[in-house]
Amino acid sequence: MSLHDVFLLPADPQLSPDAATNARLRDRLAHEPLAARLLHHDHVQFFDCGEGFESVACPRCHAEIALEWWGETMDRDHDGAGFALAPHAMPCCGHGAALNHLVYRIKQGFGRFAITYPDPGGQPDPHLLADLAGILGCRLIVVHRHL
Ligand SMILES: [Zn+2]
């Protein structure tokens, strides 16, 4: 782990690629000078953005959510091993939304699987993202973590 890392997360937080898919991901990543690693977890983990975190908002009415409420809900949703990502009534409008569907600035995400590499700066190559998403069969969320 370095101070600045990129995490590529499947938009489906439960997605856990099988051995054949892992091999295809590794083959594709071998063409990149990224020193990428594949992270596998049995339970859904939170991938935070570190010091860049600004705010979290409701996905329906876009009201900013108090960080105190968000922190308590993160605790409540976590069973000690991972996140349930159960629907929670938003404090603003009562809309039921799971933690992974909130609007995070800067981007953060949840998942059982991630591709990570030291951040070379800038945004990931869109061709690489498209290839990896194609192999996984799932759109990817890009999280930049700066500690
Ligand atoms: Zn709302």
The stretch 18-29 carries a mean pLDDT of: 98
71-127 residue pLDDT tens: 999 999 999 999 999 999 999 999 999 999 999 999 999 999 999 999 998 899 999
Give the global pTM: 0.94
Co-location of 42 and 4 in the same domain: yes
Domain that residue 87 falls in: 55-105
Looking at residues 58-73, what average pLDDT do you find?
97
Determine the distance separating the centroid of ligand 1 and the alpha carbon of 104, expressed in angstroms.
14
User: How far does the centroid of ligand 1 lie from the alpha carbon of residue 86, in Å?
Assistant: 16
As given in the structure block, the two tokens for residue 91 are 């404090």
CA of 101 to the centre of ligand 1 (A): 12
Compute the distance from residue 99 Cα to the ligand 1 centre, in Å.
13
In a shared domain, residues 1 and 46: yes
CB-based burial label for 106 (10 Å; 0-12, 13-18, 19+): middle
The CA angle 2-115-143, to the nearest 5 degrees, is 70
Q: Total structural domains in the chain?
A: 2
Cα separation, 105 vs 11, whole angstroms: 16
